[in-house]
Structure 1
Amino acid sequence: MARAVSSRRKALVTVIAWTIGLAIFFPILWTAILSFKSEGNAIASPLTVLTTPFTLESYETVQERSNYFGHFWNSVVISLGSTLLALVIAIPAAWAMAFVPGRRTKDLLMWMLSTKMMPAVGVLVPIYLIFRDLGLLDTRTGLVVVLMLMNLPIVVWMLYTYFREIPGEILEAARMDGATLKDELIHVLTPMAVPGIASTLLLNIILAWNEAFWTLNLTAAKAAPLTAFIASYSSPEGLFYAKLSAASTLAIAPILILGWFSQKQLVRGLTFGAVK
């Protein structure tokens, strides 16, 4: 029997939720506001900033100075490519761990996850040298590979969690009907785990889209994504707040729109298997 929740408690939880949400969203909102101000007004006090006129000057300067759509396309290719490649590798791996577990499966998963705790700078030099020797520096292919490797532990872990919620009897019934391993993966397991796979896809696209360390160190101009596009507005002479805000707004707008329209699927995937 469900426990009744008082109106006071509902109101308190609502206020707390809105407060946390606004606190998280405020930096994005403030960045967007500064992007519509001139450089002189952008460094004024907060109350003064809100009362100064809006202008598109910073966006015009950014468009004239940089190839935004080139950086945008690089981000799309790198984030989608690395995520899809990770899924191709992670789905069979997670299937094996979930339905043919060994004695060391949990240890293997923990080891994979522990690799994410290592500072990325610790492997920068060897990866840079490997990329230099293979001709992968400043290429989208190189970034797709390195971001796939960086996010693969998270993809495997998430898919393993979702696959564990699928009854093994369903797969056994498919085998009895003559399904091969390929049929079992493609036609039985994958359709049943679509919510989990979709949420994994979305989260890892966001991770790859926002990755700055590897994109700044392994690219120069040709394959530079939007993270490098933002960094180009930070110079030794100082920060140009309005232009930097305009560049940041242009860079995060696509991923914000994607998150807004896919939020139901994302929540459904994150809660997949939570309610029996």
Structure 2
Amino acid sequence: MARAITPGRKAVNTAIGAGIGILIFFPILWTFLTSFKSEATAIADPPVWFFFDWTFENYGAVQERSNYFRHFWNSVIISVGSTVLGLLIAVPAAWAMAFVPGKQTKNVLMWMLSTKMLPPVGVLVPLYLIFRDWGLLDTRTGLVIVLMLINLPIIIWMLYTYFKEIPGEILEAARMDGAGLQSEIIYVLTPMAVPGIASTLLLNIILAWNEAFWTLNLTASNAAPLTAFIASYSSPEGLFYAKLSAASTMAIAPILIMGWFSQKQLVRGLTFGAVK
């Protein structure tokens, strides 16, 4: 029997949730407000909150100095490309781990996850030299490959979790009806795991979009995404907070909008199989 929640407890829970939400959202709000301030107002002490002369000159200066749309399309191609390529590799791998009996499955999964514990700078030099020798430096192809490899353990782990919730008897029935391996994965397994695959897709697009270490070290100008676009506003002359905030707002706005409209799908996928 479910325990009844009193109105007072519900109000307290709501207040705590709202407070945590405001705390998390505050940096985004402050960045957005600062992007409409002058440089003098942006560094004013005490800080100026809402009552200031709003201006769009920072956005104009950012677009005049940098080609925003070139960086934007680089981010789209790199994040979507690396995620789709990762899914093509991860779906068969997660299927094998979920439905093919093996004593070493958990060991393999832990080994893959352990690669995420390695500091990226530890492999920067050899990877840089490989990219230099193969002509992949400052190319979108190179970044698609490296971000796919970085996020592949997470993609496989998530898909493995979702696939394990699908009854194996359904796949056995498909095999008895004459379905081959390819048909089993494409026409039976994949449609049943659409919520999990969709949430994996969305989450890894966000991770690739926000990746800064590799994009800053393996690009110069041609393939530079929005993370490099933001970093370009940190100069030896100092930080121009208003223009930096405008660049940051322009960089996070697309992924923030995508996350807002896809939040139901993301939550549904992340809780897929949680309730029996």
Counterpart amino acid of residue 106 in structure 2: K
Q: Kindly indicate whether residue 173 of structure 2 is the aligned counterpart of residue 173 of structure 1.
A: yes
Q: Is the 8 A contact 1:94 1:159 kept in 2?
A: yes
Return the alpha-carbon distance in structure 1 between the equivalents of residues 174 and 237 of structure 2. 65
The residue aligned with 2:31 is 31
Return the alpha-carbon distance in structure 2 between the equivalents of residues 11 and 137 of structure 1. 54
Q: Kindly indicate whether residue 47 of structure 2 is the aligned counterpart of residue 44 of structure 1.
A: no
The residue aligned with 2:232 is 232
Deviation larger for 189-198 or 38-47: 38-47
| C-alpha distance after superposition, 1:93-145 (max 9, x if no partner) | 00000000310100110110011011000000000000000000000000000
Change in Cα spacing, 1:23 to 1:152, as seen in structure 2 (3 Å) is same
Return the alpha-carbon distance in structure 1 between the equivalents of residues 177 and 13 of structure 2. 50
| C-alpha distance after superposition, 1:130-189 (max 9, x if no partner) | 000000000000000000000000000000000000000000000000000000000000
Return the alpha-carbon distance in structure 1 between the equivalents of residues 148 and 107 of structure 2. 22
Structure 1 segments unaligned to the other structure (5+ residues): none
Q: Kindly indicate whether residue 259 of structure 2 is the aligned counterpart of residue 259 of structure 1.
A: yes
Return the alpha-carbon distance in structure 2 between the equivalents of residues 163 and 49 of structure 1. 48
Q: Is the 8 A contact 1:143 1:215 kept in 2?
A: yes
Structure 2 segments unaligned to the other structure (5+ residues): none
Q: Kindly indicate whether residue 164 of structure 2 is the aligned counterpart of residue 164 of structure 1.
A: yes
Counterpart amino acid of residue 260 in structure 1: W
Q: Is the 8 A contact 1:42 1:49 kept in 2?
A: no
RMSD: 0.7
How many Å apart are 1:50 and its aligned residue? 2.7
The residue aligned with 1:223 is 223
How many Å apart are 1:7 and its aligned residue? 1.1
Q: Is the 8 A contact 1:41 1:49 kept in 2?
A: no
Q: Is the 8 A contact 2:229 2:247 kept in 1?
A: yes
How many Å apart are 1:237 and its aligned residue? 1.0
Counterpart amino acid of residue 12 in structure 1: V
The residue aligned with 2:138 is 138
| C-alpha distance after superposition, 1:227-247 (max 9, x if no partner) | 000000000111000000000
How many Å apart are 1:46 and its aligned residue? 5.0
Alignment of 1:60-75 (within 5 A): 60-75=60-75
Return the alpha-carbon distance in structure 1 between the equivalents of residues 91 and 49 of structure 2. 50
Following TM superposition, the consecutive aligned residue runs of length 4 or more in structure 1 with deviations greater than 6 angstroms are none
Return the alpha-carbon distance in structure 1 between the equivalents of residues 125 and 19 of structure 2. 43
Alignment of 1:264-275 (within 5 A): 264-275=264-275
Q: Is the 8 A contact 2:42 2:48 kept in 1?
A: no
TM-score for both structures, normalised by structure 1? 0.99
Counterpart amino acid of residue 42 in structure 1: A
